[in-house]
Amino acid sequence: MTRIEPEFFLRDDVIKIACELIGCSIHTNINGHKVSALVTETEAYNGVHDKAAHSYDGRFTERTRTMYRPAGIAYVYLCYGIHHLFNVVVGQQGDPKAILLRAIWPLSGMEVMHSRRGKELLEHKIGSGPGTSSEALGIKTSHNGTDLQGDVIWLEERIVQPKENDIIVGPRIGVDHAEEDAELPYRFRLLPSTTKQLLNGALVEDRIHGNP
Min CB(192)–DNA separation in Å = 15
Residues in 160-189 that interact with DNA by CB under 7 A: 172-175, 177
| Spatial distance between the Cα atoms of 208 and 94, rounded to a whole number of angstroms | 39
Looking at beta carbons only, is 116 or 158 nearer to DNA?
116
With CB under 7 A as the contact rule, which of the stretches 9-17, 26-34, 74-82, 149-157 interacts with DNA?
74-82
> By C-alpha distance, which of 63, 68, 58, 89 is closest to 78?
63
Min CB(201)–DNA separation in Å = 29
Residues in 1-40 that interact with DNA by CB under 7 A: none
Angle, CA of 123, 126 and 129, to the nearest 5°: 120
Looking at beta carbons only, is 163 or 177 nearer to DNA?
177
Query: Which residues are registered as beta bridge partners of 158?
Result: none
Looking at beta carbons only, is 97 or 158 nearer to DNA?
97
Examine residue 122 and tell whether it contacts DNA (CB under 7 A): no
Size of the site for DNA (CB under 7 A): 37
> By C-alpha distance, which of 192, 154, 138, 204 is closest to 1?
154
> By C-alpha distance, which of 203, 84, 187, 185 is closest to 135?
84
Residues in 38-57 that interact with DNA by CB under 7 A: 43, 45, 52-55
The residues, any chain, with a CB within 8 Å of residue 30's CB and separated by 6 or more, are 137, 138, 139, 152, 153
Min CB(169)–DNA separation in Å = 17
Binding track over 123-162 against DNA, x by CB under 7 A:
-----xxxxxx-------x---------------------
Looking at beta carbons only, is 28 or 132 nearer to DNA?
132
- Indicate the pairing of strand 83-90 with strand 97-108: antiparallel
Looking at beta carbons only, is 126 or 198 nearer to DNA?
126
Looking at residue 142, its amino acid is S
Cα–Cα separations (whole angstroms), residue 83 to 74, 92, 152: 15, 28, 20
DSSP type of residue 118 = T
CA end-to-end span of the chain:
7
Q: For binding to DNA (CB under 7 A), which residues are involved?
A: 43, 45, 52-55, 59, 61-64, 67, 75, 77-83, 85, 87, 98, 100, 117, 128-133, 141, 172-175, 177
